[in-house]
Amino acid sequence: DADVTQTPRNRITKTGKRIMLECSQTKGHDRMYWYRQDPGLGLRLIYYSFDVKDINKGEISDGYSVSRQAQAKFSLSLESAIPNQTALYFCATSGGRISGANVLTFGAGSRLTVL
């Protein structure tokens, strides 16, 4: 099994629908992140969490919410999806500053299409 598992891998939905993307990890990492990737724009951080009680907004959090249900689980919700939220979404984890560095382990991605 993958260290970081994202579900669903692909989802097509309609404008206005509520969507949840789920992420679970077996790395035992405290830190979890949600990134969005759009062609030509690289990865942009949506939300991040350093532990179960710590949730922080990233650079593009508007229109999104998150829930850290447990150390191993971090879900991303789109309360009312809109077409410009069509993108590839990545969950990532890190063990924090082990050896002074913050290295990310990524999931395989969730491709979301909003019609």
Partner 1 sequence: SQQGEEDPQALSIQEGENATMNCSYKTSINNLQWYRQNSGRGLVHLILIRSNEREKHSGRLRVTLDTSKKSSSLLITASRAADTASYFCATDRGGSNYKLTFGKGTLLTVNP
* H or E segment and range at residue 41: none
Residue number with CB closer to partner 1 (70 or 101) = 101
Residues 6-35 that bind partner 1 (CB under 8 A): 31, 33, 35
Entry field: residues in the chain: 115
Minimum distance from CB of 91 to partner 1 (Å)?
A: 9
Using rule CB under 8 A, residue 45 touches partner 1: yes
- Report how far apart, in Å, the C-alpha atoms of 80 and of each of 5, 12, 30, 83 are: 24, 14, 29, 10
Contact 109, 89 (CB under 8 A): yes
Question: Which has the closest alpha carbon to 82: 42, 43, 112, 39?
Answer: 112
Using rule CB under 8 A, residue 71 touches partner 1: no
The C-alpha atoms of residue 86 and residue 48 are separated, in whole angstroms, by 20
Residue number with CB closer to partner 1 (108 or 115) = 108
Query: Binding residue for partner 1 (CB under 8 A) from 1, 41, 62, 70?
Result: 41
Query: Binding residue for partner 1 (CB under 8 A) from 8, 12, 96, 98?
Result: 96
Residue number with CB closer to partner 1 (17 or 44) = 44
